[in-house]
Amino acid sequence: MAQISINIKEGTLKREEIIVGIDLGTTNSLIAIIDKETGTPSALRDADKFAIVPSIIHFADDGTITVGRSAREHLITDPEHTIFSVKRLMGKSYKDIAAYQHTFGYKIIDDDAERLVKIKVREKYYSPIELSALILKELKLRAERLLQCAITKAVITVPAYFNDAQRQATRDAGKLAGLDVLRIINEPTAASLAYGLGNQDKSSHTIAVYDLGGGTFDISILRITSSENSGDFFEVLSTNGDTFLGGDDIDRAIMDHWLQTQHVDGNLLSATVRQDLRLTAETAKKHLGSHGEFTGNVDKIQCDLTIAELETLITPLLQKTIQCCERALFDANLNVNDIDTVVMVGGSTRTPFIKKSVSAFFNKPVHDEVDPDEVVALGAAVQADILAGNQKDMLLLDITPLSLGIETMGGLMDVIIPRNTKIPTAAGRQYTTSLDGQANLKISVFQGERDLVRDNRKLAEFILSNIPAMPAGLPKIEIVFQINADGILQVRAKELRSGVEQKIEVTPQYGLTEEEMAAMLLDSIKNAKTDMAERAIVEARVEAQNMIDTCERFIEKNNQYLNEQEIAGTKSLIDNLRNTLNSDDKDVIHQQIEILNEFTRPFAERLMDMAISQAMKGKTI
Ligand code: ADP
Ligand code: MG
């Protein structure tokens, strides 16, 4: 339904609703709308024509809160009360960020490692959601001032790898800022929308989005499939990146280069001089985008830099991003030649050397016509326009970053939804009980790539109870995993013979960091061999235990039909098998299983025949 608002300047009523697009960035944030006259997206600017709002918040001692460019100055003068990089903390627990807490100048609270982090500023505690809301409010205010009407609806972008908790946190921040968040969309998808890549003649189009920002690097491989009747599908085929790699690292490398070549110990400099050096390094970096050399000085330190020197400093960093690109291509099952279009995003891609190198890697020219700072916000505005009904609809799809499964006998991970599966999705599998008359079945849900659940991450656990008494192996328990479009996982377990059912919704308190995710993936590759061997041993042990249980039940039940030698022999072979349970050699276990099997087979068959003839006898005609 369209919202009516009053244009204060002209005193007229506006009937169309305006939905804004917002790029809530780690370093910089922007807000954009579709220009009614031209139909093209444009970023909203302040009086000085700046579209960028630095994602920085300052808390003055008189209680004033400032956001953006004016807050940025306080990074030097009042670092303790100046908050930056809040996006890194979204949806995270203290445990998630403990390792890099020192990179934040402000105080992060660790009262409970499992809970979401809080930030302490002047005796008050703020959650990352509240802090992000302050940035969003600033953007909303800018739009309301310029457009002279209330802004209540928005599309906000997040990195493609953001998990459910992080997306939810972003949504909550919007709500807190007084915005109805109609859609959370992936940054690379937004960038593709800004380039109009959705509306092409080709039926399928593969895009690499290379996003190098201030502190993070993301590479995403997308596929757009167009069809006449259902519009365009955006699929994220794979994502990769480094959450600690960006323009800030280039600035640091330049600064270190100056200090090293002049034999200055950085630790002996005052905080102010260090900050000044860092800003000069950034200025030099930007200057060299269109000049051959830079000269300057800070304190007594000479700050000179040539393009050649800058390129040498950037190279190791650039190599890392290229490796991420290779991994993303590998995960998407593609090679460089399968990529139709390369899109450059993020302020750091302005550096010509980076553009040139990425273009060389993908072996094609890169798209850089749209301002790389603004492209994500502009795309969010395009998506907002689609939602407002002004463009043909497009559906956005996502993927699961890690495999999801349950724990089975022996602590093995049984994958139900493999990683990189498109969501929404659903998948299920049937299980059974291992004990006679078993009434309860514990279902533990895990996330990760390793074969043993203890190496993966537990997401949830619940018990399917009231299974009617049945012999082991008879119940049919169906476990279904369902992930909805918002990325929320629901697990359902149902005993099909009786209809007993139980379900839970898995909404993790906080998510994995990208490093953890990368580490888990790397681990699974490194350990594939040992994992396989371990899985084989575990499986052998489970099989042996089942055999022991069955045989013990068998001799107990059929005592009267067996002779003493059969009973004693079986018992001693059961003991032998039990003794192999701790063995690390699966072949030893299998050998004992086979021996027990061979020994019991003759009388097991004899009893079976007896049971059959007995049953026949009982029948009356
Ligand atoms: P984020 O997405 O993390 O919020 P941005 O995309 O806004 O970040 O990128 C910010 C980074 O871009 C900073 O490190 C800044 O130094 C860098 N940057 C901005 N302009 C230029 C330029 N002209 N040349 C090189 N780097 C630039
Ligand atoms: Mg960005």
Q: Considering the chain, what is the average pLDDT of its residues?
A: 85
Measured from the Cβ of residue 340, the count of other Cβ atoms closer than 10 Å reads 16
Rounded distance between C-alpha atoms, residue 582 and residue 538, angstroms: 10
- Please say if the pLDDT value at position 512 is more than 60: no
CB 156 within 8 A of CB 177: no
CB 257 within 8 A of CB 277: no
**241 ligand 1 Cβ < 6 A:** no
- Please say if the pLDDT value at position 593 is more than 80: yes
Q: Which ligand is nearest to the CA of 314?
A: 1
Find the angle CA(98)-CA(103)-CA(108) to the nearest 5 degrees.
50
With cut-offs at 50, 70 and 90, classify the pLDDT of residue 10: very low
- Is residue 286, in this structure, part of any structural domain at all? no
Tell me which of 398, 423, 442 is where a domain ends: 398
Nearest-atom number in ligand 1 for the CA of 286 is: 24
Give 319 Cα–ligand 2 centroid separation in angstroms: 20
With cut-offs at 50, 70 and 90, classify the pLDDT of residue 457: confident
Among residues 96, 130, 138, 187, which one is catalytic? 187
With cut-offs at 50, 70 and 90, classify the pLDDT of residue 78: confident
Tell me which of 377, 398, 419 is where a domain ends: 398
Which CATH number covers residue 576? 1.20.1270.10
Asked, as a colleague might, if the bond just before 424 is cis with ω within 30 of 0, I would say yes
Longest dimension (CA), the chain: 113
Length of the chain: 621
- Is residue 47, in this structure, part of any structural domain at all? yes
Give 549 Cα–ligand 1 centroid separation in angstroms: 65
With cut-offs at 50, 70 and 90, classify the pLDDT of residue 92: confident
CB 69 within 8 A of CB 53: yes
pLDDT at 503: 80
Take residue 265 and report the two structure tokens written for it.
Answer: 């110990």
Measured from the Cβ of residue 540, the count of other Cβ atoms closer than 10 Å reads 22
- Please say if the pLDDT value at position 418 is more than 90: no
With cut-offs at 50, 70 and 90, classify the pLDDT of residue 120: confident
Tell me which of 398, 414, 447 is where a domain ends: 398
- Is residue 515, in this structure, part of any structural domain at all? no
- Please say if the pLDDT value at position 227 is more than 80: no
Rounded distance between C-alpha atoms, residue 248 and residue 217, angstroms: 11
Q: Which of 146-155, 273-282, 534-543 has the lowest mean pLDDT?
A: 534-543
Which CATH number covers residue 40? 3.30.420.40
- Is residue 226, in this structure, part of any structural domain at all? yes
Residues 130 and 175 reside in one and the same domain:
yes
Q: Which conformational region is residue 93 in: left (phi greater than 0), alpha (psi within -120 to 50 degrees), or beta?
A: beta
CB 511 within 8 A of CB 477: no
List helix spans (H) across 288-372. Answer: 307-331, 352-362
pLDDT at 112: 58
Q: For this structure, is 211 an active site residue?
A: yes
Among residues 17, 172, 211, 232, which one is catalytic? 211
With cut-offs at 50, 70 and 90, classify the pLDDT of residue 454: confident
Residues 227 and 329 reside in one and the same domain:
yes
- Please say if the pLDDT value at position 514 is more than 70: no
- Please say if the pLDDT value at position 12 is more than 80: no
**Packing angle between helix 564-580 and helix 586-618, nearest 10 degrees?**
150
**214 ligand 1 Cβ < 6 A:** yes
Residues 241 and 154 reside in one and the same domain:
yes
Please choose, from the candidates 204, 198, 202, the residue with its C-alpha nearest in 3D space to the C-alpha of residue 385: 198
**286 ligand 1 Cβ < 6 A:** yes
CB 10 within 8 A of CB 116: no
- Is residue 264, in this structure, part of any structural domain at all? no
Residues 68 and 210 reside in one and the same domain:
yes
CB neighbour list of residue 463: distance below 8 Å, 6 or more residues apart: 440, 441, 442, 443, 502
Residue 468's domain comprises 402-505
pLDDT at 221: 94
With cut-offs at 50, 70 and 90, classify the pLDDT of residue 486: low
- Is residue 269, in this structure, part of any structural domain at all? no
With cut-offs at 50, 70 and 90, classify the pLDDT of residue 460: confident
Which residues, chain by chain, have CB under 5 Å from ion ligand 2?
25, 213
Rounded distance between C-alpha atoms, residue 443 and residue 99, angstroms: 32
**422 ligand 1 Cβ < 6 A:** no
- Is residue 482, in this structure, part of any structural domain at all? yes
Residues 36 and 180 reside in one and the same domain:
yes
With cut-offs at 50, 70 and 90, classify the pLDDT of residue 620: very low
The values of phi and psi at residue 405, to 5°, are -165, -170
**216 ligand 1 Cβ < 6 A:** yes
**132 ligand 1 Cβ < 6 A:** no
Residue to mutate (ligand 1; options 170, 348, 357, 373; most atoms within 8 A of CB): 348
Q: Which residue has the higher pLDDT, 583 or 97?
A: 583
Take residue 549 and report the two structure tokens written for it.
Answer: 């249980």
Residues 372 and 423 reside in one and the same domain:
no
Count: domains in the chain: 3
**142 ligand 1 Cβ < 6 A:** no
Residues 468 and 588 reside in one and the same domain:
no
**351 ligand 1 Cβ < 6 A:** yes
- Is residue 378, in this structure, part of any structural domain at all? yes
Nearest-atom number in ligand 1 for the CA of 25 is: 4
Residues 461 and 563 reside in one and the same domain:
no
Residues 118 and 241 reside in one and the same domain:
yes
With cut-offs at 50, 70 and 90, classify the pLDDT of residue 612: low
Residue with tokens 């330049």: 254
pLDDT at 383: 87
Give 28 Cα–ligand 2 centroid separation in angstroms: 7
Nearest-atom number in ligand 1 for the CA of 250 is: 14
Give 255 Cα–ligand 1 centroid separation in angstroms: 17
pLDDT at 415: 93
Ligand 1 atom 18: the closest Cα is on which residue?
A: 347
Rounded distance between C-alpha atoms, residue 184 and residue 164, angstroms: 11
Rounded distance between C-alpha atoms, residue 302 and residue 305, angstroms: 10
Which CATH number covers residue 470? 2.60.34.10
- Please say if the pLDDT value at position 365 is more than 80: yes
- Please say if the pLDDT value at position 113 is more than 70: no
- Please say if the pLDDT value at position 178 is more than 50: yes
Residue to mutate (ligand 1; options 162, 286, 310, 318; most atoms within 8 A of CB): 286
Give 353 Cα–ligand 2 centroid separation in angstroms: 19
Q: Which residue has the higher pLDDT, 429 or 229?
A: 429
Residues 91 and 117 reside in one and the same domain:
yes
pTM of the model: 0.65
Q: For this structure, is 187 an active site residue?
A: yes
Rounded distance between C-alpha atoms, residue 465 and residue 468, angstroms: 9
Residues 156 and 237 reside in one and the same domain:
yes
Give 247 Cα–ligand 1 centroid separation in angstroms: 6
Rounded distance between C-alpha atoms, residue 73 and residue 283, angstroms: 15
- In terms of average pLDDT, the best of 16-30, 161-175, 393-407, 603-617 is 16-30
- Please say if the pLDDT value at position 498 is more than 50: yes
Residues 553 and 592 reside in one and the same domain:
yes
Q: Which of 171-180, 344-353, 453-462 has the lowest mean pLDDT?
A: 453-462
pLDDT at 230: 53
Q: For this structure, is 23 an active site residue?
A: yes
Q: How far is C-alpha 147 from the chain's CA centre?
A: 35
Among residues 87, 285, 355, 586, which one is catalytic? 87
DSSP notation for 187-244:
HHHHHHHHTTTTS-SSSEEEEEEEEE-SS-EEEEEEEEEEETTTEEEEEEEEEEEETT
Give 30 Cα–ligand 2 centroid separation in angstroms: 10
Element (H, E) at 414: strand 412-417
Task: Please report, rounded to a whole number, the percentage of residues in the chain having pLDDT higher than 70.
Answer: 86
Take residue 335 and report the two structure tokens written for it.
Answer: 């090679």
With cut-offs at 50, 70 and 90, classify the pLDDT of residue 472: confident
Average pLDDT over residues 79-83: 89
Rounded distance between C-alpha atoms, residue 443 and residue 464, angstroms: 7
